Structure 1
Amino acid sequence: MTVTIRPVEKSDVRGLAELIEEIERFYGTTDADIQPFDEREAQVEEALFGSPPLASALLVEDETGGIVGLAAYSFLWPSAGSTHSLFLKELYVRDTLRRQGIGVRLMDELRAIAAARPGCSRVEWMTDRVNPDARAFYRSLGFAEFDGKVVYRVKAGSA
């Protein structure tokens, strides 16, 4: 199957909101915890096209124009010294299209975006320790795991 990788456009918001539900289900979110579609769609639009946008995304589009994957990222500052980094938050390719080089193409595109941005010193991302497929994918690209960080998370507004 031929796919196109391109930056997200405002007309993609609905399809991307649909793909995000698929991603949530991939990570084990139950029907009871799936965000209502209208709310999810509004949040996707605000995140990607608000003023200022919170994130950027590359989309994978199939031959029919359907959205079948994405790489969502933001720039973080500071990184090394006063530089910034491209932080990959989500890399997802629909299961029927995996192992066809699409993830490799997405990673190559992200590295090119980072290299073209003045002051961007690196690309960073995380994956779950319990996701052996993702870990194997990144190792196959020659990326080593970094053990130096511990991730903390608290819900907004929590004391």
Structure 2
Amino acid sequence: MKARMKNPAMLLNVNPVIQNMMTSIYQSGISVDLLEYVGLRVGQMNNCQLCIDQSLIKAKDNIHTSNQIEHVLDWKETNTFNESERVALEVTEAITKLEDRYNSLPDELWSKFEGSFNEKERAALVLYISVMNMFTRINVATRQITADWA
């Protein structure tokens, strides 16, 4: 498979802006390990092989995530993740699917989200999930097969 075009973020020179946003997310205090699980789940849900591969490569090099990363796909059936990680993965699925417009992330789940993360962490997770969805959609639509955005 060949890429249909150069990465759109590179073509329009928006990569520095995206990287600044990612830096803010990573500096928010949210667990970087959790971001790895969330990013992988978005990639899985959106069938982005490049995203999945990149998540697995990063996670396998991290002693904290190497065991858990293999269970992201079946997170609902395992006891691998703690309660806050499970809430984050559930929120990830709700935001990625957007099945019911503004009710896609139900109030009950939002309450669990509020109970598991402070406001800054919630902001970081919502932004990260949204950015990862953008990346997966760009990669799938344009058939990006290499991590050529640096």
Would you say same fold, with TM above 0.5?
A: no
User: Bigger relative contact order, structure 1 or 2, given CA contacts below 8 A and separation 6+?
Assistant: 2
Task: Indicate the structure (1 or 2) with the bigger Cα radius of gyration.
Answer: 1
TM-score of the superposition, structure 1-length normalised? 0.27
More strand by share: 1
